[in-house]
Structure formats: structure tokens, C-alpha cells
Structure 1
């Protein structure tokens, strides 16, 4: 996948990206506290990785930030505006979400799925061009007329990113965006996300991808923030051992200078 100089990308990079502030946010389900007083800040136009073992609250926090779940405490603020106080349509103009799994029983062409990103906006004669540009950037332009249900899991994930790009959001929320992708498209997708200049919060399982692509990482354990900061400061043996229950050796990538982790059982 090649990062192309399309109108979609120019619009995203040129816009003034706002900061995201998650202030003491909690969320409960069935009387159990899943997200427990989480606070974090994503600087304008940067990418923050949300890390943690299964059940640590990553997806629940993302859905709370997105407005899918209503927090039981705290606030989510984007560029000074309380996202929780916004009407759903207004929030959808500003925030795009790419879930781990998303499907539909409705027969749709790939282009129709991507055009769903324009739903929060007023219809425009440029909508189809924006959608096709977004498909081009994720390497799916030739499949615009294909039936959505015939796509592989990895192809669907790339189409969902195209849909989010077409939405032209100020905040991009990604829940395991590299799920189903081979290593080529994992790297290509995250390279593209970084190129957008959109404030991004991404839940990731792969610590090495987080180390390679994120400006900062936030590690959750039991619904709370266990560590936060630059990957080189947070992805260290003590944190990895205490949160993930494995030993880690840290090396530096000779090309980028970013940390590379290798793991061993305790």
C-alpha cells in the first residue's frame, strides 16, 4: 500500500488536529468496574497505543471514548468539547471508529460500505470521489464494486479504515486495527494512519507494533493505567513482567532506534 497524495489526505493533514483528554473516566457493567478512573491525553495529531492483556479494559475504554458506552464517571474532551454532551450526529462528524470485527447482513458493495463514512455529513457531489480516494490509499480501489461479503477478514479491515478516512474525523479510534492482516499490511496500515495527521488512539496487542509506530503508549491492567509515556520509557522489562507476566529483552531497531522486544516465559 502506498500513501498517496489524495484530497482525503490533504484535508486530514491540513486540518488543525485537536487534543483528546480522558479525565478520570470509569465504566461499569453488571455491577463490575471495567474501566476504573482512567486519565490520559493524546496530543494533537499524534498516535497513542492502548496496551494491556485480555480483559484489561482496552476495548471498553475505546467504546467509552467513542460514546458507545456512557461513562459512570469522568469526561472525554476533544479540542475543549465534551464528547459525551454532544448529539450523536455531531459526535460522528468528529470521531471515527474502526472495530475489531464489524459485519452486516445487508448486501453492499465495497464502495457503499466506504460511503457510510459520509453519513454524518451533508450529501455532496464529492462524496464518491472521497470514498474512491480512500480505497486507493488502502490498496482496495480495484475492489470497489465487489460484494462486501466476498472479502477476506484482512480486506474488510482495510475497507473499514477507508470508511473511517472518508469520514474525515478529528479523532480516530482503532480497536486492534491490524487484526486479520499479514505483516505487510500491518506495517502499511499503521504507516498510513500515522501519515494522516489525525489524533489517534489505538488498542493494540502487539507490543512491537506499538513501539514502532506510537508516539506514546498507555498500559492498562485491571481497568487502570499501569504505565504511560514514550514507548522507550514504558516498554521496559519491569512493566512487561508485572503486567503481561513474561520476561522481555529490549533491543534497538538499527534502522529506527525504536525498541524491539523479545519475550520469554517466566
Structure 2
């Protein structure tokens, strides 16, 4: 479906922009807004919430799942990007995305089970309260090079990515006189990195373009903290990852 939408947009732009100016591309003071397509940028691996009354806390370390060229999806929308051109050749950028989920909890309701179905009252199990947060923010800059092709705009840049994720659970169930949880159990992740990027934008008209980018060098440090409950302390784990020529993605954008 995405390919047909993309082809339709390209055809429409080519028809509308037959009389485009010779100088096609960004200039000082321009903004560009883009939709990014490719592999997701949220760090979500290693986020195992400790179980109630834990016998052991998982030793899973954070895994940089964004640095893999396996299972890339061109039709996967991974976020949005905004660029501002300080000069004709230099831009500053911000991109990212966020996902926040919350499920309210409810305590269980005991039932009455008898041999006769007519006098039985069903038991209602508790609803576990859960929270999920995934954040990704990227700040950086790019330098664009002149070419003999007016519509082609190659660039190199640097980006500083920031990652945050959290999972938490609380089971309000009461079993007999015993409670399952006395407080929230959680695992959180913080990550930061440094990236050297290279890419190219191709302008089909004065305002519409498609680009491609790859991380030539990519370093990410990530750390998780697991909290099993009061008195259990915390368990931390960390991972450093370096990749080369990774995380390719496609950019579809407009200049305004």
C-alpha cells in the first residue's frame, strides 16, 4: 500500500512542478519536515520487569536492537524530522518519537464455587496495572555539498541520539490475607550515543524531496536499572555498541 501512495505522490509532484525553477533545493532560513521510514529507533530489548515476590531478578542487559540490518522495513514509519537551514549548506535537525501506554489496575474479587452451578459466584481476577514509556530524541547538524546536478544534495552530518524506556507493573490482587505486590516493580533504560551520518536528498520539485541516509559510524551506550520492590535493592546492567554503515532509512519530506 505504501509503495502505491509513494508512486502517486511522485507522479502528482512531477505533473505540478513541470515549470520549477532552475535552483531547486534548500536555502538559508528554510525549514524541512520529513517522515522517516525504516527500522524502528526505540530501544526495547532487555526490559524484563521483575516478577512479584522475586526469587531472582533477571540479568538481561540492554540490547541495542536498532543496530541490525536484519528485518528492515521500508514501510515502517519510525518518526518525524524537522530541519532548519542556518545557511544554504548547513542545517540543524531534531527528530524522534514517543509511545506512552497506561493500563489501570483493579483488585480481584473472590468468588464462591459450589457443586451446583446455580449457586456459584464467579471469581474476577485482578487487572495488573502497567505502564510503558518509549522515547527517542535525536539532535544534530548536517553539511550539504554542491554538485553539478541542481536537484541532488548530498550531505554529511553528526547526530546525538537520546533514548529512554520504562516498564512497570503493580498487581493489586489479594489472595486470602496475602497481597501480591506492596509497591510497583519496574525496569528503566537510559541511552546516549554519537553518530556520523551520510546521505542524499533528491528534490522532485521546488518543495518536495526524497532522501536516504545511513549511519557511517554509530556508538550507543545504554544502561538498565531493575527495581523488584522495597528492600530488594536495584540491579543494573549496561551495554556499549559500535556499528558501521548501519541503520539505513528513507526520508520523505517537504520544504517550507
TM-score bracket, shorter-length normalisation = under 0.3
Choose between structure 1 and 2: higher strand proportion. 2
TM-score, with length taken from structure 2? 0.20
TM-score, with length taken from structure 1? 0.19
Of structures 1 and 2, the one scoring higher in RCO (CA 8 A, sep 6+) is 1
